[in-house]
Amino acid sequence: MAEPSAAPPAPTDAEREDALDRMLTRLALAEDARLAPLLVRVLPYAITSFASTSTSVRKLAMEILSHINKRVKHRPEISLPMLDLWKIYTESASTSIVRNFCIVYIEMAFERLPSEEKGNIAPDLLINISKVPAQHQGIILRLVSKAIGECNTRKVDDNIALKYRSISGSDDGLVFADFCFHTILYQTPSQGIGCPAGLSVAQADRVTGKLPLKGDTLASRKVPQVQKI
């Protein structure tokens, strides 16, 4: 039986710099309609390039991200490679700087997914959430909460609810349960300022992302959490 082939060696800084330069050129020449397929390779590669200590590599990677930001910021129909970014974020070998860039684009990518796909992916984002930095926890928890609100305004799908319940009793489940509890307690402050009763400023900001939740949006997040989770 043939032995599995060894993983290819990591590119050198010179090779990575050359690849990034070519990617930047391809991005600049690509029409918006052809951008999404290109980003499947370019965005993860640019983000992982921040693990390099080479100033020139990081500079090129930042140029690529800046270009992508300008192209996609006001074009929500352009998808980003959510699952590829999440894989990088959760890899044990990923450095802090790589994860910090990853979480920014994970948030952007998740928002662009179809509602059904958001609902399916959301509970998977909670796995090991107790082990990520608090700031990242808040971003991920808000994404999950939004997905619950969008996809399950009346009833959480039984299979999806089972995924959520599978983490109950674990550290991840406790983090999520606390967030759900704080979401349920949250009330829009009068005149849009101040802190809701029963919550600290930090807890309220964690629920909202510092943007007050109102009306139907708030109700759509609370009801499914009360019903099923």
- Residues whose CB is less than 8 angstroms from the CB of residue 148 and which lie 6 or more positions away in sequence, other chains included: 119, 122, 156, 221, 224, 225, 229
Query: To 10 degrees, what angle do helices 82-90 and 35-48 make?
Result: 10
Cα 63 to Cα 53: distance, rounded to the nearest angstrom: 16
Cα 130 to Cα 169: distance, rounded to the nearest angstrom: 12
Enter the pTM of the model: 0.87
Domain chopping of the chain, boundaries: 13-112, 114-229
pLDDT by residue, tens only, the chain of 229 residues = 445 555 567 789 899 999 999 999 999 999 999 999 999 999 999 999 999 999 999 999 999 999 999 999 999 999 999 999 999 999 988 999 999 999 999 999 999 999 889 989 999 999 999 999 999 999 999 999 988 887 755 566 778 888 888 998 899 999 999 999 998 888 887 766 667 788 998 998 898 887 777 777 777 676 666 554 5
